């Protein structure tokens, strides 16, 4: 799975547009000496992931986004988004949108559930593109390294919501607020509109656990519909200015801080739904 540098360059030059190639070249990626960072992220593979997501981003979901200027140009931040859609394609689209549109170009570290590490091939594709497992040590390393860390505080229950509960947030966990306060970084709220309708989930079979996934969703249709994605980035919430790092252990403070982020995401969802002209438009 080690992409030969020549193969990577040829692939990149033949498939990616000149503008995207320039963005990939401009990425400031850590390198531990062999072209990879400690987690396994690699420039050629980031370019490869852009190639893979190009069709989904441009043609299938026709992603539109607003407010990307809210992402810090440098330094760490926690990006907190709603999560939905049976398959975590919303993470893929946010990742693609940030790599394609952020200024200067940055690669967000998408925090994935642990069962992703058990999926053959996919685990390699994810880590090469910058995904990290959701452990405390991984969070620490990425935030101290100055990365944008994309989390979904709803976790797996977010993408497991039935269709009747679309655009209602599942339980909003506090971990992201704790990390932001502890590491002194802002939280950027994100709302994804569209993913809720991509694969309406009618039910689920809890007993079947494929590669550690918590359940098997029953979706109609079984493949994502070509809904239009709208991604809205909100203004950064300076939790690190409101609270001191030592308050990161106080459960009441964390609940209060997480509630701020939850409210911001809810506000962005409401705004996004009001602006949307239709599920496919």
Partner 1 sequence: MKGVLVTGATTPFGRALVQGLLDDDDFGHVLALGADEHPDLPLNDRLSWIRADLTRSRTIRRLLFGPVREHRIEAIVHGAHHRNPADRGHKLHRLNVESTRLMLRLAEQHPTVRHFILRSYADVYRVRPHLADILWEDAPLELGTRAPQILRDRVEADVTACGRLGLSSLRILVLRCAEIYAADMGSQLWDYLHRRFCVRPVGFDPMVNLLSLDDAVQAHLLALKSKARGVVNIPGKDTLPLTRAIRLSGKQQYAMPGWMLGPAYRLRGGGSNASFRYHLNVERFHSTAILGGLRAREVLGYEPSNPLAWPIQQT
Q: Closer to partner 1 at the Cβ: 53 or 127?
A: 127
Q: Does 1 sit near partner 1 (CB under 8 A)?
A: yes
Secondary-structure breakdown of the chain: helix, strand, coil percentages, each rounded to the nearest 5: 45, 15, 40
Query: C-beta of 119: minimal distance to partner 1 in Å?
Result: 8
Q: Does 245 sit near partner 1 (CB under 8 A)?
A: no
Q: For residue 258, how many C-alpha atoms fall within 13 Å in the half-sphere facing its CB?
A: 22
Q: Which residue, chain included where needed, has tokens 């990879």?
A: 36
Q: Which residues pair with 218 in a beta bridge?
A: 203
Q: Does 141 sit near partner 1 (CB under 8 A)?
A: yes
Q: For residue 256, how many C-alpha atoms fall within 13 Å in the half-sphere facing its CB?
A: 11
Q: Closer to partner 1 at the Cβ: 30 or 238?
A: 30
Q: Does 6 sit near partner 1 (CB under 8 A)?
A: no
Core vs surface per residue 8-43: b (16+ CB within 10 A) or e: beebbeeebeeebbebbeebeeeeeeebbbebbbbb
CB atoms within 10 A of CB 55: 10
Q: Closer to partner 1 at the Cβ: 120 or 222?
A: 120
Among the listed residues 13, 114, 165, 209, the single contact to partner 1 using CB under 8 A: 114
Q: Does 34 sit near partner 1 (CB under 8 A)?
A: yes
Q: Closer to partner 1 at the Cβ: 121 or 223?
A: 121
Among the listed residues 13, 69, 136, 246, the single contact to partner 1 using CB under 8 A: 136
Binding positions for partner 1, 192-231, rule CB under 8 A: 212
Answer for the pair 94, 130: CB distance below 8 angstroms, yes or no.
no
Q: Which residues bind partner 1 (CB under 8 A)?
A: 1-2, 32-34, 36-40, 114-115, 117-121, 123-124, 127, 132-133, 135-138, 140-141, 212
């Amino acid at each position: 799975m080690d992409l030969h540098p020549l193969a990577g360059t040829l692939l990149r030059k033949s498939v990616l547009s000149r503008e995207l190639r320039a963005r990939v070249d401009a990425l400031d990626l850590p390198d531990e000496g062999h072209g990879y960072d400690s987690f396994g992220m690699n420039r050629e593979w980031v370019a490869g992931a852009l190639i893979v997501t190009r069709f989904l981003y441009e043609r299938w979901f026709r992603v539109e986004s607003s407010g990307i200027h809210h992402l810090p140009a440098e330094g760490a931040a926690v990006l907190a988004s709603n999560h939905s859609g049976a398959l975590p394609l919303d993470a893929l689209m946010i990742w693609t949108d940030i790599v394609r549109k952020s200024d200067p170009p940055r690669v967000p570290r998408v925090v994935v559930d642990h069962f992703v590490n058990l999926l053959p091939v996919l685990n390699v594709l994810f880590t090469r593109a910058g995904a990290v497992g959701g452990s405390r040590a991984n969070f620490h390393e990425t935030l101290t390294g100055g990365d944008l860390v994309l989390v979904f505080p709803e976790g797996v229950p977010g993408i497991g919501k039935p269709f009747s509960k679309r655009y209602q947030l599942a339980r909003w966990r506090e971990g992201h607020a704790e990390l932001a306060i502890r590491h002194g970084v802002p939280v950027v709220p994100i709302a994804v509109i569209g993913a809720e309708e991509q694969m309406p989930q009618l039910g689920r079979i809890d007993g079947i656990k494929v590669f550690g996934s918590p359940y098997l969703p029953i979706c109609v249709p079984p493949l994502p519909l070509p809904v239009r994605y709208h991604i809205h980035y909100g203004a950064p919430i300076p939790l690190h200015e409101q609270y001191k790092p030592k308050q990161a252990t106080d459960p009441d403070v964390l609940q209060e801080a997480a509630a701020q982020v939850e409210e911001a995401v809810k506000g962005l969802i409401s705004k996004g739904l009001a602006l949307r002209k239709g599920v496919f438009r």
